Structure 1
Amino acid sequence: MRFDGTDAYIAEKDLTVAINAAIALQKPLLVKGEPGTGKTELARQLASALGLDLLEWHVKSTTKAQQGLYEYDAVSRLRDSQLGDDRFNDIGNYIRRGKLWDAFDADKRVVLLIDEIDKADIEFPNDLLQELDRMEFHVYETGETIRARHRPIVIITSNNEKELPDAFLRRCFFHFIRFPDIETLHRIVEVHYPGIKQNLVRAALTQFYEIRDVPGLKKKPSTSEALDWIRLLVADDVAPEDLRGDAKNALPRLHGALLKNEQDVHLFERLAFMARRQG
């Protein structure tokens, strides 16, 4: 199996090399990068390109590693025993399979996405070491061992909110998705909005990168936010020459698509005030 990108996903050469290396080594691919740089979409496009099913496990701050394997509903079993329900006699009725179990038990190879692993507790990655390494786990309630019938392709994403344990990193192939340069982002825009006016795209992307380069910006706008902004510009039929508006107004047109907190809005308002004073 080899991934070379898709018509709907622009993948740089170093990213495709990382994906194919992880597949060849049979190791999970750990993908880091700024939010909105296409880490989650990568797993979806990989599954589509290889003709494989995709299983998505979206990690939250309350997620435990055990939930990816299975969960035992002891409360329901106790209730059924009190009510005399025949289901009580089969403990398997109270085992809820997790995403890893589904991936291990699939009839064919699948792509398993473990999304935003850094959101969970620091022990979360460590608790998955053996399962991801040996591709098996034990179900203590039934005494059975679940082994992967076909080793899944595992994509793990992280927004770098916290450091991951060294023992976990050692078992992964790592790739950092750099923020795309203006030429690459131009190609991404064309994939999402074929036939868009090229002069508008050039003007919008020039201003977009100027915004990202403003010193003191708390949250730089991402690729997905650039796509949303350009979509709004097209919907409002904004001409390239009208994109900047008043030269003394530092806030970009439809800035709510790009600036997502009040500190950054105030930063641009201060820049506009300083420009007016200098004028």
Structure 2
Amino acid sequence: MKFTGTDAYVATEDLKVAVNAAVTLERPLLVKGEPGTGKTELARQVADALGLDMIEWHIKSTTKAQQGLYEYDAVSRLRDSQLGDEKVHDVANYIKRGKLWQAFEAGRKTVLLIDEIDKADIEFPNDLLQELDRMEFHVYETGETIKAAERPIVIITSNNEKELPDAFLRRCFFHYISFPDMDTLRQIVEVHHPGLKSDLLNTALTQFYEIRETPGLKKKPSTSEVLDWLKLLLAEDLSPEDLKRDGASALPKLHGALLKNEQDVHLFERLAFMARRQR
């Protein structure tokens, strides 16, 4: 079972090595990188390439580790007992299965995505250590033990918003998705916008990297944002000449696809003002 990439996802060699190493070691693959570099999409493409079902667990700031295992709805059981409902006698009727439970009982190997784990409380990763290690957990209300028949391929993503505990990191195979270089980005663009004219692509990507490298930029535009930008350039039928910036306006054409906060827009406006003063 080897991941070699897909036609819809440009995976670098080191990323392929990381995925296959995690599969071989049967360890969770922890993937970090800038937002928009394809971390979540990686899990979907691994599942597609290996012909596996995928289970997605998207983490929020309020998510608790227990929710990945199961939740016991005591309130509903109390209400049903007051109403004299017969199902109240079987506690299993009030157990809601979480994403890990679903992956464990799937009956075949699956890809389990735990997306943006750094959004949750700092204790969240540690609370899953034993379950991810042993691939089993105990349901106290019913007395049963849920054990994975097939160990899922676990892919965990993080935007690096907070540090993860060392004990958790020791149990993962780690990979950082670096921002793609020009050649890799060309390949990514070709997947999403095949046949794009080379002169337009050269001008657009050159300008895109110049924007990313502008000192003082609060949020650098990501891979997904340059793809959106290129889609707009094509829709507006803009030429390479249309993209040229001058001292009157340092803002790129259709800049709302690339610059996502007012500080960065004001930065380029100040650059234009300074350029005019120097004339």
TM-score by length of 1: 0.99
| 1:13 corresponding residue in structure 2 | 13
In terms of mean alpha carbon deviation, does 190-199 or 151-160 score higher? 190-199
* CA distance in 1 between partners of 2:231 and 2:247 (Å): 23
* CA distance in 2 between partners of 1:238 and 1:87 (Å): 65
* CA distance in 2 between partners of 1:198 and 1:228 (Å): 18
Does residue 265 (structure 1) correspond to residue 265 (structure 2)? The answer is: yes
Question: Which whole-Å deviations, capped at 9, do the CAs of 1:28-65 have from their partners, x for residues lacking one?
Answer: 00000000000000000000000000000000000000
Question: Structure 2 unaligned runs (5+)?
Answer: none
Does residue 171 (structure 1) correspond to residue 171 (structure 2)? The answer is: yes
Question: Which whole-Å deviations, capped at 9, do the CAs of 1:120-178 have from their partners, x for residues lacking one?
Answer: 00000000000000000000000100000100000000000000000000000000000
* CA distance in 1 between partners of 2:72 and 2:200 (Å): 56
Match of 2:112, SS state, is strand
* CA distance in 1 between partners of 2:89 and 2:259 (Å): 57
Stretches of 4+ aligned residues off by more than 4 angstroms: none
* CA distance in 2 between partners of 1:247 and 1:192 (Å): 32
Q: Percent of aligned positions with the same letter in both sequences?
A: 78
Match of 2:275, SS state, is helix
- 1:196 shift after superposition: 1.6
| 1:3 corresponding residue in structure 2 | 3
* CA distance in 1 between partners of 2:218 and 2:197 (Å): 31
| 2:122 corresponding residue in structure 1 | 122
- 1:199 shift after superposition: 1.3
* CA distance in 2 between partners of 1:239 and 1:29 (Å): 42
| 1:113 corresponding residue in structure 2 | 113
- One-letter code aligned to 1:197: K
| 2:232 corresponding residue in structure 1 | 232
Question: Structure 1 unaligned runs (5+)?
Answer: none
Match of 1:11, SS state, is coil
* CA distance in 1 between partners of 2:61 and 2:154 (Å): 21
* CA distance in 1 between partners of 2:91 and 2:49 (Å): 39
* CA distance in 2 between partners of 1:97 and 1:52 (Å): 20
After superposition, the CA RMSD in angstroms is 0.6
Does residue 206 (structure 1) correspond to residue 217 (structure 2)? The answer is: no
- One-letter code aligned to 2:221: P
| 2:162 corresponding residue in structure 1 | 162
TM-score by length of 2: 0.99
